[in-house]
Amino acid sequence: MDIRNFRDIGGYKNRDGKVMKKNMIFRGGSLDRITQEQADYFEHTLAIRHILDFRDKKEAEMAKDFVFCIADYEQISALRIQKHDENGFDFEKIIKNKMDANQFQYILGYLKEGYRTMAFENPAYQKLFELLLKNDGNIYFRCTAGKDRTGVAGFLIMMALGMKEEDAVNEYLLSNEYLKRGAGDLAGKLNIPEEYRWMCAPLLGVQEDFIRLTISSIQRKYNSYDEFFESEYKLDREKRNRLIEIYCE
């Protein structure tokens, strides 16, 4: 599949011993480079019926997705930063031809603020949980590289299903393995000066410190994940049990 960082989330065991089913919830990056054959596999073999795009409107227009015959597509920005860069979290566009120490510090601060705010009052993630509860076909949620906005969403899904926080963090960190291929070539294509390439690794992959910002933000605002999910996503115990019934066995 010509989709960066593409994978399904499955196989993890929750605190009650139930295992998350495979090939129901998929995550990844942009869908602008896939072939018709791959699109057919996407819809018919993987049975994906909902595509939720977390990019903002401008990002989505700059790299339009493949138009699918069956799967429904919806774009809802997952960024919750009040004043954000016009490229969103597409750091490849932000740093191309202009990386230096000052630019790095700006992007790093912007990225951290995103992780602190994305879990709250987020219509994109609210829609995601709505689709998960609807259960009328498999789901693919994505952003540009499938690592930050998508990564937080994947973490929240696993926590809603009662998975261990450690497992949810480890699944988030898998993006580094999926994005490793071609990382060196990418730095060259973006014309990042050699002396700054080492700095760009956190921007082109993921870091545990980033998702920990999301976790600590939730813990500061709420006493528990139960309280968090009910307040932010209207997922009371009955609805979360329903999610577990659908996506675990």
Structure-token pair, residue 47: 């049975």
In whole angstroms, give the CA distance from residue 190 to residue 95: 7
In whole angstroms, give the CA distance from residue 212 to residue 109: 15
181 contact partners, CB below 8 Å, separation of at least 6: none
Query: Would you say residue 70 lies in a domain?
Result: yes
| Residue numbers of the domain that contains 64 | 7-247
- What predicted TM-score, i.e. pTM, was given to this entire model? 0.91
Query: Would you say residue 1 lies in a domain?
Result: no
Q: What is the pLDDT of residue 80?
A: 86
Query: Would you say residue 220 lies in a domain?
Result: yes
Query: Would you say residue 225 lies in a domain?
Result: yes
Residue written as tokens 């329903």? Answer: 242
Number of domains in the chain: 1
Q: Got the DSSP string for 126-188?
A: HHHHHHHHH-SSEEEEE-SSSSSHHHHHHHHHHHHTTB-HHHHHHHHHTHHHHH-TTHHHHHH
pLDDT by 10s per residue, the chain, length 249: 789 899 999 999 999 999 999 999 999 998 988 999 999 999 999 999 999 999 988 888 888 999 999 999 999 999 887 655 555 566 666 666 566 778 778 888 888 999 999 999 999 999 999 999 999 999 999 998 899 999 999 999 999 999 999 999 999 999 999 988 655 555 665 566 777 667 777 777 899 999 999 999 999 999 999 999 999 999 999 999 999 999 999
- Burial category of 203 from C-beta neighbours within 10 Å (exposed 0-12, middle 13-18, buried 19 and up): buried
Q: What is the pLDDT of residue 108?
A: 85
Q: What is the pLDDT of residue 2?
A: 84
Query: Would you say residue 43 lies in a domain?
Result: yes
Q: Which residues pair with 51 in a beta bridge?
A: 73, 140
In whole angstroms, give the CA distance from residue 167 to residue 8: 15
CATH code, 40: 3.90.190.10
25-28 and 7-8 strand pairing = antiparallel
Sign for the pseudo-dihedral over CA of 202, 203, 208, 214: positive
Structure-token pair, residue 70: 């069956």
